[in-house]
Chains A and B, each alone.
Chain A
Amino acid sequence: MEKVGIVGYYQVQLESESNYGRYEVIFEAVRGALDNAGLKKKEITTVISCTNDYYDGRTISNAFPVEVGGAYLADESKVEMDGAHAALYGLMRILSGNHKLAVIWGGSTPSCYPYHSARLFETDPTWERPNAFVNDITAGGFQMRAYMEKYGVSAEDIAKVAVNNRKNAAKNPLSLKEAQYPNLTTKEVLESGNYADPVTELMVSPLCDGVAAILLAPEKQALKITDKPVWITGVGYNQETYYLGDRDLSTSKSMESAGKMAFKAAGIKNPKDEIDVAELSEVFAHEELIFSEALGLAEKGQGAKLNYGINGDLPINPSGGALGGNPPCATGLIRIIEAVKQLRGEANGYQVKDAKKAIASGQIGMCAQNNILYVLEGGN
């Protein structure tokens, strides 16, 4: 594969209610990414945006932010999944040989719309939607219960993930302020509000406004633009079946397949030893454990035994992950950006020592039906 590099990035400050308009947030992210790489708007050849019509509350949601996203008279398209999937289309466009600089941006402002109501439209229209007890939060409850029952994992083990990530978030100035807990205990997590038993409030990633953007360029251009490009060496993406009752929620088949595909492309045989840092989109605390097991970082049911702190054997979500703020359509893209920061040594306050290879993931659907995984490598 021709090498494709991430040459610039920007993430806006995550806020539960940003006090400026959504176009301004998008402009800040795209302008910030261009400035980060020292480039001008005229150098953009293609823009891939990621928004969701339901989350935006309007149809054809990519038609409106054309100018602020840098897409005026550029070859623009929209992937309506997660920002990490939009980056995949950007990667394809660069690899096809048609483009030299791709802007990928994704995000939304859930302070303006009822996110959980919008997600009701993601449930099975015939069998699940009429029964109002199936929604994105209760589905997370089914998933956590299935995982705990199958492998005998305790709620404390899962609460520890929330503690770790929210403590990490306190070190990340761009994470959501309300998600930062520098002195959190597992007891406080378990005793926070009951969302969908056994899921409690602090185990759920908090919704927030946010937009992120990255720039992709082919090898030759990337080396001209920056002396610190981060290369995409592998991508895998996959989804499992739709109806929740047909799925084994105690594991993640789609993440397993995505991992196999990405690791094969990157020539990684033993991810546990070769990966230095992981940024996984965990909408719920237990999903981080399920994902790390699906990726072969731990045996099935043993994810909680991993030493996943910032100074651990395999740091997972040193930035705080999605538990440090979950802006729909940007979360996966932010994971990529956080992995890039680690590889470039720019993660001030939560830097993992000597990070050379990183993985970053994004997800969509109920109980992460669809997952995408990137393998990223630093150095030129």
Chain B
Amino acid sequence: MGRQVAVVSAGFSEHASKRTDVSMPELVSEAILDCLKNVPSVGIEDIDAFVNGNMPAFEGANVPELWMTDWMGARNKPLMRVTTGGTTGATTGWTGGTRLSAIVINRHPRI
């Protein structure tokens, strides 16, 4: 195992059987804002990189990470999407951990 990483915050959108009041990117922004709210010392400007997990074929928009770019706060920042079916959620978390382990983020000059 490489460099150890920790989860410092988590956030959720409001769950309901049908959220007819928001679009998909707006739903994502709810979760991101909630996640940031739980760690007051971290702002969106502190985020170096993003990992998105989404099943585009389930919802009718291809390359959703590009659609959601601004709603995630990911404009002009490194972003990658993983998509593995029902396991996408856990895959996304693991990918974020791997990325940090590898220090493949913006502020480190050696990748």
Residues in A lying within 8 Å of B, measured CB to CB: 1, 52-54, 58-60, 62-63, 77-81, 85, 88-89, 91-98, 118-119, 121-122, 124-126, 234-242, 253-254, 257, 261, 264-265, 364-365, 369-370
Contacts and interface: CB of A to CB of B under 8 A. Distances in A.
Interface of B: 1-3, 23, 55-58, 60-63, 65-70, 74-86, 91, 95, 98-99, 101-104, 106, 109-111
Interface SS, A side: mixed
Contact of A265 (B60, B65, B109): B109
B62 A96 contact: no
Contacts of B103: 1, 95
A96 B80 contact: no
Nearest to B71: A242
Contacts of B91: 77
A74 to B, nearest CB: 14
Contacts of A95: 2, 101-104, 111
Contacts of A122: 61-63, 66
Given A96-B101, A242-B69, A264 B56 contact: no
B51 to A, nearest CB: 9
A54 B63 CA distance: 9
A280 to B, nearest CB: 19
A62 B79 CA distance: 20
A86 B74 CA distance: 19
Nearest to B53: A80
Contacts of A60: 55, 57, 83-86
21 contacts: A54-B57, A62-B83, A62-B85, A80-B56, A92-B102, A93-B102, A95-B103, A95-B104, A95-B111, A96-B102, A121-B61, A122-B61, A125-B60, A235-B104, A239-B65, A239-B69, A239-B79, A241-B69, A241-B75, A242-B68, A370-B79
A257 B77 CA distance: 8
Contacts of A80: 56, 81-83
Contacts of A63: 85
Contacts of A54: 56-57, 62
**Lowest 5 CB-CB distances: which A-B pairs, in order?**
A97-B2, A95-B102, A60-B85, A96-B101, A1-B110
